[in-house]
Amino acid sequence: MSAAEGPVPPLVSFGRSLRGRGLSVGTGRILTFCRAVAALGLTDRDSLYWAGRTSMIARHEDLDAYDVAFEEWYRSLGSGDSELTIELPSEIDAGEDAAELEAQTEQAVASWEPLGEGDEQPEPGDETTIRIVASAVEVLKQKSFGELTPEERARVARMIRELTLRVPHERTRRTRPAAKGVTLDLRRTLRRSLRTQGEPFERIRRARRVRARPLLLLLDVSGSMSPYSRALLQFGFAAMAAGRRVEVFCFGTRLTRVTRLLRTRDPDRALHAIAGLVADWEGGTRIGESIKALLEGWSQRAALRGAVVVLCSDGLERGDPEVLRAQMARLRRLAHRVVWANPLKGSPRYEPLARGMAAALPSIDVFLSGHNLASLEELAHSLEGRAGR
């Protein structure tokens, strides 16, 4: 979208596309859509989708046509035009800015079709509609995975896969040439001095290399985690984009590595393959034994030492809690940071009183919930920072 064109005409053109498909979309609804985008600062794909759906669609039978129209309209913006910006104050129903927005919208609409008798007139003070749009945009982020409808589950899965995970960096023992390095590269300095008759006028320095720490995910797919397992695997799919040093394991009563299956462009096929590979899917839970298997097979590998370990489980251990306590302490000594995401923590009344959770808690650096999209966003942000319990 060009800066000269402004943000309003493309938004209005979306209403034109809907009307062209036979949907009843009047000027009032288009103006509400523009106001919602401006007031709430909506710029990403899903926020724009829900803002338009809430403000311009009134009948359930129009949803299919709306989805098709939105996909075509959003693609027409181009890859570099996904950021829409409308500068308005928080009180959008008063002042010259609101009037200007209304005038721009009316002008854009009038340029392609005059106002008809069936068009709704805008209601400048309709703050309730704005709040409804905001609720529609945020509702999926706050809704528990176990309460999602199939349509909502599909949208949330796509939003999870688009999460950006960043892990902290570490300085390695290996060095690289650097203009401001603290270590003198004696060999290269002497070699360079041959150009100046043995005088070391130019001193070559080196600095330690910096690389992203390994990221290791342990995902509980036992029966008690069934409402959250697929969403957590989508999170694992998103984690694969964090770098090459990412490992993902599933566990119930035993440990299964699923890293290779997640390195694909088709997440649905990957999840289907994982469901067939993991023999104890929706079975029992033996967290301590699974962590022990991980440490016995991977403790000497670079994927675990100094890694950020994310363990997603409700902590309902069926095995010996003392085994879990010992293995978590072992894991903590090897890892850079241990993060535990427990969906049960999403309840304000939750307390980590279960035997397994109580045994693991002393070895956890960051303790978060993992019951909805908002909590997974917080989890993604906590990997690089130092969020606490």
Place of tokens 């926020």: 47
Distance between CA atoms of residues 163 and 234, nearest Å: 10
Could you report the per-residue pLDDT of 212-242, keeping only the tens digit for each?
899 999 999 998 898 898 899 999 999 988 7
Neighbouring C-beta atoms of residue 176, cutoff 10 Å:
12
Whether the per-residue pLDDT at 98 is higher than 80: the answer is no
Distance between CA atoms of residues 280 and 54, nearest Å: 41
30 φ/ψ angles, rounded to the nearest 5 degrees = -65, -40
Maximum CA extent, the chain? 92
Whether the per-residue pLDDT at 9 is higher than 80: the answer is no
Whether the per-residue pLDDT at 294 is higher than 80: the answer is yes
Could you report the per-residue pLDDT of 251-275, keeping only the tens digit for each?
998 999 999 999 888 888 888 888 8
pLDDT above 90 coverage of the chain, percent: 25
Distance between CA atoms of residues 102 and 28, nearest Å: 10
**What integer pLDDT is reported at residue 256 of this predicted model?**
93
Tell whether pTM > 0.75: no
Tokens standing for residue 377: 């966003």
Distance between CA atoms of residues 148 and 145, nearest Å: 6
The string over 3-25, giving b where at least 16 C-beta atoms fall within 10 Å of a residue's C-beta and e elsewhere, is eeeebbbbbbbbbbbbbeeebeb
Rounded (10°) angle between helices 96-110 and 8-20:
40
Cα atoms found within 13 Å of the Cα of residue 248, Cβ hemisphere only:
27
**What integer pLDDT is reported at residue 385 of this predicted model?**
65
Could you report the per-residue pLDDT of 36-94, keeping only the tens digit for each?
777 666 667 788 888 888 888 888 888 888 999 898 888 887 644 444 444 433 333 43
Read off the DSSP letter of residue 341.
Answer: E
* Mean pLDDT, range 141-158, rounded to an integer: 86
Whether the per-residue pLDDT at 116 is higher than 50: the answer is no
- Mean of the per-residue pLDDT values of the chain: 79
Neighbouring C-beta atoms of residue 282, cutoff 10 Å:
14
Q: Which residues contact 67 (CB under 8 A, 6 or more apart)?
A: none
E strand or H helix at 96:
helix 96-110
Tokens standing for residue 230: 């697929």
